[in-house]
Chain A
C-alpha cells in the first residue's frame, strides 16, 4: 500500500 506524499515535505516555505 502507498500513501500520498506532500509538497511541503520536499519544499520549504520562504
Chain B
C-alpha cells in the first residue's frame, strides 16, 4: 500500500516537465526516505536523479519499498490534467499494475482520479560516489537558462571554465564565437540572485549544449542552480526543490580524441 499526498502538487508537474524529454521510461522508487528516481537518457550521456523526501509530503505511507515503472510522457499527460494549485495524491497497491493520481482542487470542489498503467522496466541503478569538485558555481537558474539558450544559437558545445576571474561559458560555430563571463556577485538584494563561485582549482570542461538546455527545463523548480565541475567526473547541475529535496542532472563531458 502506497499513499503519498503532496499539497504543492505543482512541484510534481514541474518535475515531469523537467524530465520527460530526457528520459522516456523510468522506475519511481518509494521507500521510507522518500519518492525517488534515477534514470539515464537512451544514449547514456546524461543521468537524472530526483529525490522528494517523505517529510515533504503531508501524508506519506509506504508500507514496503516499491518500484513503479512509468512512461514519463504518459505520466506528464495525466499530471497536466491537475491544476497548478491542486493537491496531488499518488496511490498504489502491492502487486497492482496501475498507479492512481488523485487531484483535489484547493477548496475541495473538484476531485479527479487518473489511473495509469505501470510498466516493467529493467532498471540500471548506478552508484554515484560522493566527490570533491574542483569548482562549484551557484547562480540564478534563469541566468543559467539564458546562457545555455543564447549559446546554443551559436554553437553545439560549451566550454565551461572556472578560474579566479569567474566562470566563463564559451562556444563557437559556423557564424562565429561567443564568450560569457560571470563574476562572483554577492552584493544582491536576495540570496537567490547571487552568483557564488567556490574554486579549489581551475577547471575547464566541454559539454553538449543540447543536454544542458534540456536540464534547464527544471528552472521553474528553483530560483538558483548549482553547477559542480571536476575534470574526472560528469558535471552536476542541481536544482533544489524547496523543503523536499532536489533534482540533479549529470552530464558526461566531451572528451578530446
Contacts and interface: CB of A to CB of B under 8 A. Distances in A.
Interface stretch (B67-75, B76-84, B119-127): B119-127
B44 A6 contact: yes
Interface residues of B, number: 24
Given A7-B40, A13-B126, A14-B126, A1 B252 contact: no
Contacts, number: 57
Nearest to B255: A5
A6 B206 CA distance: 13
A1 B44 CA distance: 20
Interface string A1-14: 11111111111111
B257 A11 contact: no
Interface of A: 1-14
Interface of B: 40, 43-47, 124-129, 157, 206, 208, 233-234, 250, 252-257
Q: 6 closest Cβ contacts across the A-B interface? A: A5-B252, A11-B126, A2-B254, A14-B127, A1-B257, A5-B255
